[in-house]
Chain A
């Protein structure tokens, strides 16, 4: 079982769209996929369930008083008086997407997100209040390693082939938990100037987190591997990305996926309001087929690079 965080500091780069479609394609190929939505924007959650279901049945906006999202897990670990739910108990039952998958063992399970996830950082800061200065590093590393230890059981039981974590566009305690739990990091990015700087910023945060964890934790060292950058929202002209984008696609100090996802507002704008990622739609037009083959090629390359069997 491989755990991969999908992350970029910049929002709106197509990260969630890529995560949902990669998951769908992998499940279509018979893989058992667990999705963890850790972004307070809840976009990945809304790619599979409607906001009213999320509000009424999952308690995702905090109005029902019963929380069946990843936030209840963070609340539990941050507060001794609250019970920490089993991660598996947060999986949304009966996702509609299952109807679009063949009967080959592949599946998508989703642990949904909550609007309040944005405040988790502050809540967890309480855990550190009262900790003597000499032990802060150790305590922090412990906090960052919580998701890792809770997912350990799934790893041991090989319950899934792949876990994909949709991370928020920042480096708070939620993101740090995701990175520490991960075997690999996938970075979707748009090929432009500020986005490529965002990749460097991420490399720095990732590097310093890994160092901080490995010096402080006292447990085994972690080595999450940067699987590479996947360029999204490519404008194709004459069979290749336009030159202005190509200019930013030659990165020499990080690995880059050869698969890319093109920009197409017509196809992606309404997706996935129906709860089914684009790649499973089966439209019959040439542009749609090119997009599907791009996602297929991404899935194949991803399995190779992430070591998904």
Chain B
């Protein structure tokens, strides 16, 4: 493979990744022509190739936060857990994606956090309230 081929391949792979990362809404808009892609080029940082996902965001870590949320008794407690675990938007966003929630990169931190707490602690509390102590077993 020539260097040119390889560079072109990488470029297309980047485009593919950008498409994969789109939300359903964004994708639909793109198809309808309501969204326009914008491409920019940056200097490649020296260490970029060997970059691993930071340990904060390992799957194991994400799973452990999920387990903590499963045990939270109130929504406030849920918010606290999420805030402490993901003070930055990037981590919060990755966690929301891990939970398969409909979030977008442009969403505000508060909104993503709300979505996470609602989908985990909130759903469980709502469900328990309506079930009134009965279970599906």
Contact = CB atoms under 8 A, between A and B. Distances in A.
Given A197-B126, A253-B127, A247 B119 contact: yes
Nearest to A228: B136
A304 interface: no
B9 interface: no
A226 B134 CA distance: 12
Contacts of A84: none
B136 A203 contact: yes
Interface in A206-244: 206-208, 226, 237-238, 242-244
Contact of A253 (B101, B119, B135): B135
B100 A247 contact: yes
Interface string A236-277: 011000111011001011110000000000000000000000
B134 A253 contact: no
A247 B27 CA distance: 18
Contact of B134 (A207, A237, A247): A207
Contacts of A253: 124, 127, 135-136
B23 A206 contact: no
A150 interface: no
B24 interface: yes
A200 interface: yes
A197 B130 contact: yes
Interface residues of A, number: 22
A252 B134 CA distance: 15
A200 B102 contact: no
A204 interface: yes
Given A197-B126, A203-B136, A255-B136, A244 B24 contact: yes
B42 interface: no
A126 interface: no
A141 to B, nearest CB: 18
A283 interface: no
Nearest to B134: A207
Interface residues of B, number: 20
Nearest to A225: B137
Interface in B44-98: none
Max chain A CB contacts within 10 Å: which of B100, B126, B131, B132?
Answer: B131
A203 B135 contact: yes
Nearest to A198: B130
B102 A244 contact: yes
Contacts of B124: 252-253
Contact of A247 (B28, B101, B131, B133): B101
B136 A237 contact: no
A53 interface: no
A204 B132 contact: yes
B135 A243 contact: no
18 contacts: A196-B127, A200-B127, A200-B130, A201-B130, A203-B131, A203-B134, A203-B136, A207-B131, A207-B133, A207-B134, A237-B27, A243-B100, A244-B102, A247-B100, A247-B101, A247-B102, A247-B119, A253-B136
Q: When A and B form their complex, which 9 residue pairs have the shortest distance between CB atoms, in order from nearest?
A: A207-B134, A200-B130, A254-B136, A243-B102, A226-B136, A200-B127, A204-B134, A242-B24, A204-B131
Interface of B: 23-24, 27-28, 100-102, 119, 123-124, 126-127, 130-137
Given A197-B127, A203-B136, A207-B131, 5 more contacts: A196-B123, A204-B130, A204-B132, A208-B132, A253-B124
Interface of A: 196-197, 200-201, 203-204, 206-208, 226, 237-238, 242-244, 246-247, 250, 252-255
